[in-house]
Structures are given as C-alpha cells and as structure tokens.
Structure 1
C-alpha cells in the first residue's frame, strides 16, 4: 500500500472521528481557534499513533556511543508528584480543509446543495493537480520525482556508484503530474451578521453566535468562490465593526433593532448590487426590542427591502434570562410560513446544530 493510500485512509479515520463527536466540536468550539488560512487544526484524542516496536520489554538492545559492558544506562530521576495509575492520552492535532469540514457538516445535517439565485449561477472548470502518475504529456513530466524513481532503481539493483553518481532515468522512471477537472461555482456571496450587544446579551450568548457563524460560513464557502463577511453591532444605535470587535463588544442601554436593519440596507445598496451578489443577512438578538413601533418599522424594512432583494433573511433568537423574546413572536405572527425569512430559537449551545439546520436546510 502506498504512502498516499495510507494518508487517505488516515484522513478517512479522522473525518469519521470528527463526525462521531461532531456535536462536541460544534458546541465547544475546539477547532475554531486553530484556523490557519483554509485549514483547521483539530485536537483528536484516543487515536493510537503508529510506532515501531523493537522487541519485548525489559530486554537489551544494540546501542551506540561510549560505555562498558554491564554499565547502567541511567539512574531514576527525582521528579515530583505521585505516579498515576491510568495510561496517558495521546493528543494528536490533524488538519482538515474547510471543504472537508463542510462535507462533514452537510452529511451530518443532511443539508441540500445551495443553488445561487438569478444569473449569478455561473460555474467555471478549473484544473486541480492531484498527484503523480506513470504516464502523461511531456509538458507535465516532473524532473524531481522521475530522478528519485531512477535513483531508487539504481540503489535497489546495486548499480549505483557513489564515486560516479550518474543517474540516467529510463521510460519506466518517468513521473508526470496528474490532474483532474473540477467545477467551481463563480457566484459571489456576502454574509452580513448583525448582533444585539445590549446588556442582556452576555458572553455566553455571544459565544453561541460565534460558534454558529463559523459553521454557517464554512457551509456557504463551499458553494461560493468568493464569500465576504460584514459585521454590525447594535444597541439603540448601530455601527459596522471588524470580526473581533463583533464578538467582544458589550454595551448597555436600550435596543433599537431597526438601527441595524437600516445600516445593513445601506451597506447592501452601496457595495452589493442585488443582481450580482447572493446576500445573506443574519440577525442575532435576545428578542427584547425597545418598542412595538420599532418592531413595526423592522417588519416594514423586511417586506419592502430585505425579502425581495436577498436570498433569505435569517433571524436567530438567543435565549437570555434578561430578554423578553418578543421579537421572534412578532416576526412569526407577521410572516407566518413565508420561506424568504427563517426564524430559529437558540436556547443553548446544544441547539446550535438544530439552528444551523433551520437556516441552511432549505438550500437557498
């Protein structure tokens, strides 16, 4: 079995382990803090690491260096602490791409493929180099791999001469870069996150939003070549911020949800023409709006601007012991079963997966 096959088999084991413990990774966010470009490092315990064994324990072996027969190889150290009775746990960090995480999310939640709306549903065929092959066009012959293959043949057959290290590859040594054609969506998309940061939205509520937004982005990136994200925070007033500020800001005072919706509308009208972009506004709040009048203004904005011009408008209500939760009830009463707006109640971290399914399960 080749090293490549072993590696692929190990990746399958890793993905199976992530899928098995998927809820833990979603609710605890173990991998979100370990992002590097398009990859995520995942700490995986309980996977035995392959190792060489050189014979039965407590038996001698061949050593190197200075020493006399019968001489001890070392004295016990004087470390501190009690000896443990349980075996140590291997903690292995492995990398998975965002595409692989999206596949796991899609399989776990049975999410449908998103079909970009309108005339933006354009796909482009690209060439992806995927390894080496013994045949191929001369323009793709890889010198380094071909040389290494020839060197192995020389060494294994005993004809390699270190004094005259001339290596002449023959036809069977040649290695060519292999490739496959992949189709990638060209459509552009923007996700605009809005969050209530008034005093009733505490650290736990913001952490739920952080975890959920990571997985929402992971799924959407699989379907769009270019995914942009924008962030709006609001209490009685709204402002655009960067991602770090979005999840760390705490304010006090009243809540005017319409302030965020107005700013979101302004951003869309300025930067994202609706005939060129797939637009996903997400609003997270504990549902405690300042007044019924402001809620009526929000529903007016939704009817006249957001629902006709965006792929889908998503509202997630994070439960807080200080919030009334009334805004969710008002939206459900006003819009009923209108599929252009999706409402989800997120009572705790354990409900994050259900909420993601609510938002993304219709493939819009």
Structure 2
C-alpha cells in the first residue's frame, strides 16, 4: 500500500502538470521556455496554486467578524483613533508565480496531450547500442550485499538432508561457505533508434529578431518531443543567406546578415551532412527549414526542388518547411513547395507561422503525422 505522503505528492504533481498544460499556449506564445537544470529536468514558471480560504457568510448569521463597523474602529476593547491605518500601499497585484521542476518526459507528455500528438514510428534500423544489467540469476560467488539468504538456506537444507545431518525434531540449519548463493547480473545488449534533427534558417536581412524568436521557441518544443521518442538524438544547425554554414546553437539564433537569399545553399549543406554522417538506413533524419519565403531566383528554386527530390526526401523521415511571416518576405517559396508537393505528400510538411500565437498549431502540423 502506498504511503499517504507519496499519494499526496503524486496528486500534487498531477495538479501541477494540469496547470502547466492550461497555461501552455501562454508560455509558448510569450516566448517563455523551461530552463534546463541538467539530467533531463527543467524549471517551469507557473501561476501560484492558491490554498483554500474560509469565506464568511451574511452578517445576520452571526459569528466572528460580523456586525457594523468602520475602518479604524477599536477592536476587542483596544483604543483607536477612528482613522484608517496609515502607510504606503501598492496599487498592483503581487507576483504570484513560482517555479516547478518537470522532467523531459513530463513536459513532452503535456505537449503531446495538448496537441494530441501520436507516437513516432521510427524509419531507421535500431542502431544505437546500449547495455543493461539485470539481477535475474543466481551465482555461487559475490559480495555480501548481494547474498540471497533464502537460496542459501535452501542449499544448506538440501546438503543436510543429503548427508543425514538434518534433525526434524531440532530443525536447525546452519549454512556453510559452499551453500552461499548470490544474486548475479546478466548483461544484455539492446539497440535503440537514433535520430538527427537538422535545422536550417534564413538569416538574411528580412528575417528579424521576432522571426528568430519564433524559430527558437518552436525548435525547443520540437526537440523536446523528439527526445521523448528517441533514446538519442543529435542536432545540427545551418544558417544561410546567399551562402550557408554550419554553426553552434547560440550562433544559430543570434546571427543576422544583410545579403540576399539562396535557399539552395542550405539544402546543399544539409545534403552533405546527411551523406557524410548519417546513413538513412540507421538514422531517423529530420530536416527543418525556416524562412520568410524569399529566394533569389526561380532558377534557384528549381535547384532546391531537385535537391529535395533526389537527395533529401528519399533519406529523411519527413522534410518540414516553416514559413515565418515577415513584412519584408514575399512568401513565394511556400507557394512553390505547395505547388510541387501539395498538402497530402507524406514526405513534406508545410506550415505558415503568422506570429507567436501560431507556434503550437505549427508544431502540431509538423509532428501530428507521427513521422
């Protein structure tokens, strides 16, 4: 039977997860993200959970605090001057937020429940090797901490019965060294699916800070879901304007260039990364490209479609394109992809992200097929 404290703690965790889920859209659209604390744990800001309070009824019912009175009147025989209390008071509500800790699995569960996301069906073979030790057998040697007393006494009983030294009228069983048995572990090798996410982002002049913040928020929650689906994932970042280069995560979200845009430069680099580092028969590959839809020329768009058809789509679980609305972007690349692949292509998912309020809908579009 569970201890009452454990039941109360589990109930409290359930309440917390319910409150986080209720406020999920506010967190996401506000750009607020959980803070990593290490070992798969995140700190999440949330409104304080109020404790129950007594509420007084009508004054005719009697009881404490009832009757006529004015601010400043004496209470309980004390002397008063009939004036309201003096002093400075605030005119705004106090900060009632607190921080709670949730694991990757708990946050992913909240996201999955809210967006009704299906579990992903991995495409690649199980390639990541992991070993586990389970104490599922019995051995004749081992440390005292793993001594199996029941089995040891059974061996001692068998020995005494076999040698005729067991006395049923005085059933004393004394194990000797050869009777001792110990829990023994069996090492098993398991193979888990692994995944790589390749983020590509247009950092030309038309992609401002607001657009990058949308990409940063959306990629965080996408990563969170994928981490809950795969034992191990790797993440690569590509930025581009007219040329592309691979960068670290911090650089990815802070770089801004003033040049033109050649989307093919990012797709070429993505192709090189896949071909050199990720065998598609062993890896689940997720290329994501974010842009405001501007491209240098129709010739480059044709080159992009050719690279997608020949090299990226055949090797990926799904290719996701997110078009972040910008006052300077034409949105033409979305139209070109839509004309080529439509909305029913299993290998391509397109999403328009108008503003921060559209982030959750975009995540559902990308992850809702369970690819």
**TM band (smaller chain):** 0.7 to 0.9
Counting only pairs closer than 5 Å after superposition, residues 65-84 of structure 1 correspond to structure 2 as: 82-84=88-90
Q: How many residues were matched structurally?
A: 286
* Structure 1, unaligned runs of 5 or more: 51-55, 57-80, 129-137, 142-183
User: Does 1:271 pair with 2:281?
Assistant: no
Matching residue of 1:193: 199
The answer to which of 30-39 and 290-299 deviates more is 30-39
Separation in structure 2 between the aligned mates of residue 117 and residue 140 of structure 1, nearest angstrom = 44
In structure 1, the partner of 2:59 is: none
**Partner-residue secondary structure (3-state), 1:233:** strand
Matched, 1:102 2:108: yes
2:322 corresponds to which of 299, 316, 320: 316
Q: Deviations over 1:221-258 (max 9, x none)?
A: 01111111000000000000000000000101100000
Change (3 A) 1:35 1:341: farther
Counterpart among 333, 338, 341 of residue 327 in structure 1: 333
Q: Give 1:43's aligned residue.
A: 45
Map of 2:74 onto structure 1 = none
Secondary structure of 1:100's counterpart equals: helix
Q: Look at both structures and tell me which one has the larger radius of gyration over its CA atoms.
A: 2
Could you tell me how far apart the structure 1 residues matched to 2:191 and 2:101 are? 24
- 5+ residue gaps in structure 2? 53-63, 65-86, 135-144, 149-189
Pair 1:315–1:3, CA change in 2 (3 A): same
Question: In the TM superposition, what whole-angstrom CA distance separates every residue of 1:283-337 from its partner, at most 9, and x where no partner exists?
Answer: 0000000000000000000100111110000000000000100000000101123
Distance 1:325 1:87, change over 3 A: closer
Cα offset for 1:127? 8.0
Q: Deviations over 1:183-223 (max 9, x none)?
A: x9810100000000000000000000000000100110011
Structure 1 residue 37, shift from structure 2 partner: 4.0
Instruction: Determine if contact 1:115/1:121 at 8 Å carries over to the other structure.
Output: no
Greater shift, 258-267 or 83-92, is seen at 83-92
Instruction: Flag the 1:247–1:125 CA change in 2: closer, same or farther, 3 A.
Output: same
1:347 pairs with 344, 354, 363, which one? 354
* Structure-2 change in CA distance of 1:358 and 1:126 (3 Å): farther
> Retained in 2: the 8 A contact 1:287–1:328?
yes
Mapped partners of 1:27, 1:302: distance in 2: 31
TM-score (norm 1): 0.73
Partner of 1:92: 98
How big is the shift at 1:31? 2.9
User: Could you say which residue in structure 2 is the equivalent of 1:304?
Assistant: 310
Q: Residue 256 of structure 2 is aligned with which of 250, 259, 282?
A: 250
Q: What is residue 292 of structure 1 aligned with on the other side? A: 298
The equivalent of 1:4 in structure 2 is 6
Q: Is the partner of 1:248 in helix, strand or coil?
A: coil
Equivalence for 1:60: none
SS at match of 1:119: coil
Structure 2 counterpart of 1:228: 234
Tell me the C-alpha RMSD between the 2 structures: 2.7
TM-score norm. by structure 2 comes to 0.72
Distance 2:51 2:237 in 1: 42
The answer as to 2:214 corresponding to 1:208 is: yes
Counterpart of 2:20 (choices 18, 21, 26) is 18
Alignment of 1:94-243 (within 5 A): 94-120=100-126, 139=146, 186-243=192-249
C-alpha distance in structure 2 between counterparts of 1:203 and 1:85, whole Å = 34
Q: 1:31 aligns with which of 4, 18, 33?
A: 33
